[in-house]
Amino acid sequence: METTLQITLFFAAILIAISVGMAIAVGLRRAKTGILWLHGDDDELLRRMRAHGNFTEYVPLALIGLAGAEWVGAPAWFVVGCGVMLLVARLMHYATLRGSGQGPGRTLGAGLTSLSMLACAVAILVYLAGWA
- The rounded distance, in Å, linking the Cα atoms of 130 and 124 is 10
Tell me how many degrees the CA angle 49-50-55 measures, rounded to the nearest 5.
105
Average the pLDDT over 120-124 and give the result.
98
What is the assigned CATH class of domain 6-128? mainly alpha
pTM attached to this predicted model: 0.91
Average the pLDDT over 123-130 and give the result.
97
Torsion of CA 98, 99, 105, 107, to 10 degrees: 70
Listed in sequence order, the residues at least 6 apart from 119 whose beta carbon sits closer than 8 Å to its beta carbon are 69, 78, 82, 85
- The rounded distance, in Å, linking the Cα atoms of 116 and 64 is 12
Average the pLDDT over 10-24 and give the result.
98
Q: With the C-alpha atoms ordered 65, 70, 73, 74, is the resulting torsion angle positive or negative?
A: positive
pLDDT at 119: 98
Task: Compute the mean pLDDT over every residue in the chain, rounded to the nearest whole number.
Answer: 94
* Domain map (residue ranges) of the chain: 6-128
Q: What is the pLDDT of residues 60-95, one digit of tens each?
A: 999 999 999 999 999 999 999 999 999 999 999 999
Please state at what angle helix 43-72 crosses helix 104-128, rounded to 10 degrees: 20
pLDDT at 1 over 60: no
pLDDT at 2: 58
